Chains A and B, each alone.
Chain A
Amino acid sequence: MDALKITSLKSSVEGKRILEGVDLTLKEGELHIIMGPNGSGKSTLANTLMGHPGYVVEEGQALLFGEDLLSMKVDERARKGLFLAFQYPLEVEGVSFSHFLLNAYKAKNGNEQKMDPKMVISFRNELKKNLKELGLSEEFLKRSLNVGASGGEKKRLEIVQALTLKPKLLLLDEIDSGLDIDSAKLVAESIRKMRKENISALVITHYPRILDYLEPERVHIMAQGRIICSRGVELAKELERKGYDWILKEYSVN
């Protein structure tokens, strides 16, 4: 089963075409890396898949476990198992982290109206455990969503959300940027744990460092709105040493 199958996906932002035809297949349980120079369309791909209103699909298709992802509303995508850990998670004043996540949890588990006390208790225990795992204090439960959190804390809170909501396909948009080494390890550890539970993941990153922990099946290189090549993990190592120029040349990208 393919967790994600993207075919000739083209999308634009504010009338400007960014994705020029992306093809990518991710099998269930696999973890793939997307790398590429700035402006190559990596974040656009993530945001298009999640259905951000500013990103307009022009052509192409994306199937999430065989279902047409692009025709779904944003919340439906999430309930079908897609989760995007944002590059810049937003702050929402007055909405506490735990209240927000409980609502998401209830929506996910098809129980929006009822407050089943058992479910609420298991949710809270799970959430506390996950905060601890990411080295975050329980103070965050009460705090407004992402308000007053540092850049690194916000990234870790995204992972706490993922651990708690248990999606099937994880999109990580530069989850490792802004993290110190210890936090990056905690995040990688959580991703490994989720992989044991058969999660599939697409990881956008600039830093191959995190790859040592993640054991990806594939590495894709994006440039000018396309995936120009896909190889094994050794490609990432090579890029770390030599930069992008040689591979862009090899695939005749200016």
Chain B
Amino acid sequence: MAEKFDFIDSAKYDFKDPEKYAFRTPKGLNKEVVEEISRQKQEPKWMLDIRLKALDIFLKKPTPTWGGDLSALDYDSYTYYIKPSEKKGGTWEEIPDNIKKTFDRLGVPEAERKFLAGLGAQYESEMVYHSIREDLAKKGVIFLDTETGLREYPELFREYFTKLVPIEDNKFASLNTACWSGGSFIYVPEGVNIDIPLQAYFRINSEKMGQFERTIIVADEGAKLHYIEGCTAPQYSTLSLHTGVIEIFVKKNASVRYTTIQNWARNIYNLVTQRSMVEEGGLMEWVDGNIGSKLTMKYPSIYLIGDNSRGKILSITFATEGQHQDAGGKVIHKGKNSASTIVSKSISRFSGRCSYRGLVKVIKNATGVKSSVKCDALMLDEQSRSDTYPVMQIDEEDATVSHEATVGKISDEVIHYLTSRGIKESDAQAMVVMGFIDEFAKELPMEYAIELNRLIQLEMEGSVG
């Protein structure tokens, strides 16, 4: 039987491949390592120059202390580049057997056949597979790994690379710029609607590894795209690092939805910069689910620069023992009559910690802005923790901005009501939790919503005595 598509159940993705790699840099990060990455990729000099400049900034900037605890991050202990194989492919036959088996086991090719318009699969530092439905390629849709994007469309690439996340933006953006590898380069031409999702799947296999994908998405005027990223890794006792940068350009009347289902193993620091810019009448949606990792620090951002542009951020976090999810979102309103909503739902238990960190900024003269922020926290026991750090900077009087926050527990009365119909207590709790994040789950493709439901059921079975 074909493996079921699944990257939520941790029992399923916690397996390791033997480490047979084509190339890896020595541990630690320095000029030689960055030059070696650049040499491996045979990229133009301007890119190496940017990498080295970014490295310089990374080394100078202090590790931020305002968010999660990063004190155990030991930058010298990681391997910053691992090339899994000399081969890359547009068909699964071209992929080395051991890597193909990994993705088979995760059900990725099956998902591609069933419900995706295109798929990229990254293993360690490289995208080993990239493919898009032929009809979309014919319409001019570009869906490539980022290196190939740079090679085949150098001008287009340069127009957008680091334009939304400058190299000095933050320490981890600098780190990513210095040693970026893999990720997707996507261009959807004017008026092209891709109605079923494109997906990228990120897999870290080895221990003490750093993965630094770089993704650029451009939706030209009136174009429409839904992109999904999923991430898994086997569990190690040592700490690994995932630091991606995503830049999304939403042109006039275009719309992009970016869905993340992050289920990294619980030994991974997940420090990601995601940013988008929306022109007139455009729509950007971040649907951001953080279930795995040791510490996630990620605040998807939307710059609404065009009039009548819209942005939505829908975030759920789930933190259990040893986890801290520091997530949220930022919206900056520059366009007149631009509108945004941020909905954050967090669930913490077994001393897990969820933090919401958000910003809504309305720039002077951006009249007619509407924004609403809703943060709901569900805490399943007394030991867990939930914090909110909402910031509002409203420099235009003519703006309608609202903020609501609730913190709650699962009520005994509700559990009694549900169990009084014959439903087991753990299932009743799972139902309430699913109900709590229903707003999120119903935005997922059905296959993912079902898996999410199953995961929560599994989690709840462990929590009812």
Interface residues, chain A, CB within 8 Å of chain B? 50-54, 73-75, 77-79, 83-84, 86, 89-90, 92-95, 99-101, 103-104, 107-108, 112, 144, 161, 165
Contacts and interface: CB of A to CB of B under 8 A. Distances in A.
Contacts of B150: none
A144 B414 CA distance: 13
B412 A78 contact: no
Given A100-B431, A103-B431, A144-B435, A92 B417 contact: yes
B419 A73 contact: yes
Contacts of B421: 75, 78, 83, 100-101, 104, 107-108, 161, 165
Nearest to B416: A52
A147 B424 CA distance: 22
Nearest to A161: B421
Give the interface SS of chain B, mostly helix, strand, loop or mixed. Answer: helix
- Lowest 5 CB-CB distances: which A-B pairs, in order? A94-B435, A94-B438, A78-B422, A104-B421, A95-B435
Interface string B398-431: 0000000000000011101111111111011001
Nearest to B426: A75
25 contacts: A51-B416, A53-B416, A74-B416, A74-B420, A74-B425, A75-B423, A77-B420, A79-B422, A84-B420, A92-B417, A92-B432, A92-B435, A93-B438, A94-B435, A94-B436, A94-B437, A95-B418, A100-B423, A103-B423, A103-B427, A103-B431, A104-B422, A107-B424, A112-B427, A161-B421
Contacts of B432: 92, 94-95
Nearest to A74: B419
Contacts of A92: 414, 417-418, 431-432, 435
Interface string B182-207: 00000000000000000000000000
Nearest to B438: A94
A226 B269 CA distance: 63
Interface string B432-456: 1011111100000000000000000
Contacts of A84: 420
Nearest to A147: B435
A209 to B, nearest CB: 27
B322 to A, nearest CB: 28
Interface residues of B, number: 23
Given A94-B435, A95-B435, A73 B416 contact: no
B50 to A, nearest CB: 46
A75 B418 CA distance: 8
A95 to B, nearest CB: 4
A107 B423 contact: yes
A35 to B, nearest CB: 24
B447 to A, nearest CB: 15
Contacts of A74: 416, 419-420, 425
A90 B425 contact: no
B418 A100 contact: yes
Give the most central of B412, B416, B427, B434: most A CB within 10 Å.
Answer: B416
A78 B417 contact: no
A89 B423 contact: no
Contacts of B427: 103, 107, 112
Contacts of A51: 416, 420
Contacts of B425: 73-75
Given A51-B420, A52-B416, 9 more contacts: A51-B416, A78-B421, A78-B423, A83-B421, A89-B417, A101-B421, A112-B424, A161-B421, A165-B422
A90 B417 CA distance: 7
Nearest to A47: B416
Contact of B417 (A77, A86, A107): A86
Contacts of B439: 94
A52 to B, nearest CB: 5
A108 B418 contact: no
A232 B463 CA distance: 49
Contacts of B413: 90
